[in-house]
Structure 1
């Protein structure tokens, strides 16, 4: 349960920060150049800071409001990590089974095919094509992989585009299978 809430908190924080960043960036004007084009994002950032300061002032004046915020945050975190098809209104006591790490690693090797690296967006597209992970973002997938201990690199270059992804070498060294010999570091550690 704690692991699910921790992963959910990470997902919710990432989703909220990405949404706010997109909102600030949307203020940029393409019809202007120079500093004038950047005035929109600057104004939105100042407005965002003013709202944050206002919320802080309200919470300082009425600290009990923080409990409402904490309850909302935990509920959002719990819902962010629900399994596909899981009832949203089910009680918090029923925790879904954690996915099998070996099955996830096998799926990643399947998506890798004969390549040595793959973007998380490609993995997510494969999963969604199979009818899984509907409504997930790459950030959601990354949080789930991190929770399972599967290494994700921040900049994996595929087709000249660097973004989050997985390397075959990382998977092979962390999860040696029967067809792969263990890495020398694993043998030395034993």
Structure 2
């Protein structure tokens, strides 16, 4: 009986840790996506600050709600435990950054090209922040940035440019014409992948 309780407690602890990590990563990614690549300085980060303020306001309202109706804690606790239990079961299936599965996925240039073309639709290009948002909405590339995506594209030899216009806004992106003709993988010594944040 004691061993079963210990196993259950360990699973709930691991699941709670995983759930907290996922929620934090998603919240951080949501805040980061508000950054404007077409602006510089403090203006570029205004959207991030606005989203952060919304998150804090939401937490404050939740706290006030629980203070007004303490019995809601039972509901929230039950929901957390069920979700943590499921998260602990699913956690091993999610490969860490830099794993063999992640590397092999990045190496599939054809799949990446197909994804970029799908996101373009009938347009002539797509912004990298749109690609990153799409990946993160599907549970991939959490906690990564546009710079990480640029470095990945550079390694795979996919041409990208800082002046791709979509809806009149120029920023880092990929053009359709560069995807429809096969590109050569860049020489690692001559790669000019930027190291500053986008």
TM range (shorter): 0.3 to 0.5
